[in-house]
Chains A and B, each alone.
Chain A
Amino acid sequence: QKEVEQNSGPLSVPEGAIASLNCTYSDRGSQSFFWYRQYSGKSPELIMSIYSNGDKEDGRFTAQLNKASQYVSLLIRDSQPSDSATYLCAVSNYQLIWGAGTKLIIKP
């Protein structure tokens, strides 16, 4: 059974600090990795996609992929209260598998 695991949280981070969200996956053949942000009552919004090992930066967001260790992480620098949301990790190898999400709370 292909699985994507995330800590459900809540993860509480002070405003201005770095928030680190982690995701592990079981299918070694996975090729595409996505992070989505979902505010309460809203639909998921794509933040980052990453396809090769290493780091990918976009503004305050950095996605990190390590295929050997089968994990992908999302770092949010200078965390803002507006970053408070649930973050979903999705991993694809011809089928998109979703994690249950990590709830992030940024404390002012």
Chain B
Amino acid sequence: KAGVTQTPRYLIKTRGQQVTLSCSPISGHRSVSWYQQTPGQGLQFLFEYFSETQRNKGNFPGRFSGRQFSNSRSEMNVSTLELGDSALYLCASSLASGTLYEQYFGPGTRLTVT
């Protein structure tokens, strides 16, 4: 079974621009969660989508948004990029939303904002 895929793998953007990252979950998985990881902050939860609905949201500004499509693929968008948005963005999929379900991570998208 194919794993979680994320595109693009690497991205360089300029301050003020916007960016869209894509995530395709494991086949049959309906929940997708997004995380930001930086060396100093560890894994920070952005949001979770299940059946095209945002189920949970972390403590990030409104510049960070996401959506999920009917085939469970998900995108996240960051508008008006800031230098501090440079990070590894990880997508994780699970069978469903809830306590018992294991999350499996994609390889991540490394975003550099200059």
Chain A residues in contact with chain B, CB under 8 A? 31-32, 34, 36, 42-46, 49, 51, 88, 90, 92-96, 98-101
Contact = CB atoms under 8 A, between A and B. Distances in A.
A46 B90 CA distance: 14
Contact of A43 (B45, B98, B105): B105
B43 A88 contact: yes
B99 interface: yes
Given A44-B90, A44-B105, A95-B56, A101 B98 contact: no
Given A43-B90, A43-B108, A44-B90, A98 B42 contact: yes
Nearest to A90: B103
Interface of B: 33, 42-43, 45, 56, 88, 90, 98-100, 102-108
A17 B53 CA distance: 47
A4 to B, nearest CB: 10
B38 to A, nearest CB: 12
Given A42-B108, A94-B98, A101-B42, 11 more contacts: A32-B99, A34-B103, A43-B88, A43-B90, A43-B106, A46-B104, A51-B100, A90-B103, A92-B100, A98-B42, A100-B42
B99 A46 contact: no
A34 B102 contact: yes
A67 to B, nearest CB: 14
Contact of B99 (A88, A93, A100): A93
